Structure 1
């Protein structure tokens, strides 16, 4: 008995003091995009008529342990057994040794981009024109493009071929062999900013010649210049999203619906408590997110009765749906608007629901 007791104590000590390579996800706060957060409206529209919007269109979040947090075996086992926690490999949240600072920067950039796409998707769903341009998003330090191209430069053409989508840039550059020249036709960022401020089209363009270099990919090398391309927009009025201490792209759908609701008379939810999640692109397509199990638990705990769920997350979400919560399958902002119309009308029997596989 003494030997068994000592062995048990040794095992418990090992479980407490020996770190394991895991991290933990738990339900985070939910925020009503139609309401206030820290004393100010989450969505603020200036320069366009808005309408009172009641009800709930809540975006949802997930809390994760810090990159430098050392989980022990006891905590890992408890997390595996607990209903409201999820234990995942540490590299799932922080791949390639990513630091807390690097992860926070990345999620902040994703959050900012999701806000822009939410605005575009909402306005396009309302047939309100939005002007868009392909721009230089980032320039890699030490690359051929450094000092030649700058973040915010508008890319009009590559080698004389007009650019319409960010993907066009890489496609045109990789037609070259490493070491060959590629010619960018751009509107410098400062000229573009001045034109937008003066509410006029940018007139000044420049041609910039850059010598490509070989990519560092494994296998066949591509020609690259060291930039990433993105999209910038000019909106016909101002939309501000005020929400601090949140990162990642998963609030895009709920921001878009909140904006749509404020710009249209009546209430999208009909007074129902609706929560949801999902990335959104400029065309209104809804994409999958991480931590869906934690998000539906958090939403249910706050009183949500309907949860707008990305189609690709449906199977995982439906494995353990909280009692009283209906998971509504959506693949676009149009799907979400149709579902909300049925919820308003009380026609919930025909809602597209998530099903476990």
Structure 2
């Protein structure tokens, strides 16, 4: 066999071997890609995304689209060829597996966490929108979760209203941890609560709950890094009573990043006229009860997905602006927002056609 032919054959066989190895060698990466985008003002799977009862609503137009990101599952093992393809593809992003699933989190755990965050984001979106409209909302601090095997297990339950800790009134979820950590591990702490069942009954009967309980327990030591502190093994959150019904119907979506767009959709439906002026606006961002907009993951995927559906403007959390501006899809204007007020101001400019002063992610 001529030397040149032998060399070419050897090179071909080597290439085939490398390709085969690439297909079978797993790498510790996961992939993100643009996911579905849904108009919060419209329908999804045959029913309105936002359903409001007991309060007058108004016709809307245009789009206020929430955006999503598709990710590979926790148990998916990407091979080298897929990773290289993902790195080269413009619309996909390959990231370390632990970025999406830290601490060995399973698919089930991730799904549950995302569902809880999505539910909380809906509540905060409702509160933020109604506060902008000066509609009063009753709020209180509750036990969100109880850690199995912790001092609180069997004594406190999810949904219990926390009125006080050691006699000091609780107004915000963060107050609970501050008051508990005033103790040293091993010391007793006293919670004054309204049991979840009593709270639910009072809400149903539209009365103020009157029955409280004092629950004492012994604190234990935190197992996280850093300075050791006293804990009881709960997370605190906020619950609300709304003066009318607001339902958000959107299945198979998780995480907190749709909060801003839900809040804007609710605001639009409860006010005359159109927030968008008929324009196609998409966006993303977490939102808290006060209307502050927070950053999210996968911003590059969301802008691509939004533009592919026809979005002209994209409401971008201020902390995501730098990353989003690195590769902005043609024809899409990125608008920097830090609060729901910023977003409402930007929408006013958009519907008026006076966009010269918009705070974009390039300024």
How far did residue 266 of structure 1 move?
0.3
How far did residue 355 of structure 1 move?
2.1
Task: Indicate the residue corresponding to 1:6 in structure 2.
Answer: 13
TM normalised by structure 2 equals 0.97
Task: Indicate the residue corresponding to 2:138 in structure 1.
Answer: 131
Task: Indicate the residue corresponding to 2:102 in structure 1.
Answer: 95
The structure-2 alpha-carbon separation of the partners of 1:81 and 1:176, relative to structure 1 and needing over 3 Å to count, comes to: same
Task: Indicate the residue corresponding to 2:196 in structure 1.
Answer: 189
Which residues in structure 2 correspond to 1:99-248 (within 5 Å)?
99-248=106-255
- For 1:192 and 1:287, locate their aligned partners in 2 and report how far apart those are by CA, in whole Å: 31
3-state DSSP of counterpart to 2:356: helix
How far did residue 211 of structure 1 move?
1.1
Task: Indicate the residue corresponding to 1:20 in structure 2.
Answer: 27
Match of 2:355 among 348, 354, 357: 348
How far did residue 54 of structure 1 move?
1.2
- For 1:87 and 1:216, locate their aligned partners in 2 and report how far apart those are by CA, in whole Å: 32
TM normalised by structure 1 equals 0.99
How far did residue 219 of structure 1 move?
4.5
**Higher Cα radius of gyration:** 2
How far did residue 97 of structure 1 move?
1.2
Does 2:74 align with 1:73? no
Match of 2:280 among 273, 280, 286: 273
CA deviations 1:216-236 (Å, max 9, x no partner) are 133532111111100000000
For structure 2, list consecutive stretches of 5 or more residues without a partner in the other structure.
1-7
Does 2:91 align with 1:84? yes
- For 1:22 and 1:211, locate their aligned partners in 2 and report how far apart those are by CA, in whole Å: 43
- For 2:322 and 2:103, locate their aligned partners in 1 and report how far apart those are by CA, in whole Å: 28
- For 1:252 and 1:224, locate their aligned partners in 2 and report how far apart those are by CA, in whole Å: 30
How far did residue 131 of structure 1 move?
0.4
Does 2:258 align with 1:283? no
3-state DSSP of counterpart to 2:302: helix
Give the stretch that moved more between structures: 307-316 or 8-17: 8-17
Match of 1:55 among 58, 62, 85: 62
- For 2:309 and 2:18, locate their aligned partners in 1 and report how far apart those are by CA, in whole Å: 39
For structure 1, list consecutive stretches of 5 or more residues without a partner in the other structure.
none
Match of 2:268 among 242, 246, 261: 261
Does 2:256 align with 1:249? yes
* Aligned-residue RMSD, C-alpha: 0.9
3-state DSSP of counterpart to 1:350: coil
CA deviations 1:169-217 (Å, max 9, x no partner) are 0100011111111111111111111111111111111111111111113
- For 1:217 and 1:296, locate their aligned partners in 2 and report how far apart those are by CA, in whole Å: 36
CA deviations 1:26-49 (Å, max 9, x no partner) are 000000000000000000001000
- For 2:299 and 2:322, locate their aligned partners in 1 and report how far apart those are by CA, in whole Å: 10
- For 1:114 and 1:287, locate their aligned partners in 2 and report how far apart those are by CA, in whole Å: 11
Task: Indicate the residue corresponding to 2:5 in structure 1.
Answer: none
CA deviations 1:222-261 (Å, max 9, x no partner) are 1111111000000000000000000000000000000000
Aligned residues: 356
- For 2:224 and 2:94, locate their aligned partners in 1 and report how far apart those are by CA, in whole Å: 32
- For 2:324 and 2:15, locate their aligned partners in 1 and report how far apart those are by CA, in whole Å: 38
- For 1:318 and 1:217, locate their aligned partners in 2 and report how far apart those are by CA, in whole Å: 36
Task: Indicate the residue corresponding to 1:323 in structure 2.
Answer: 330
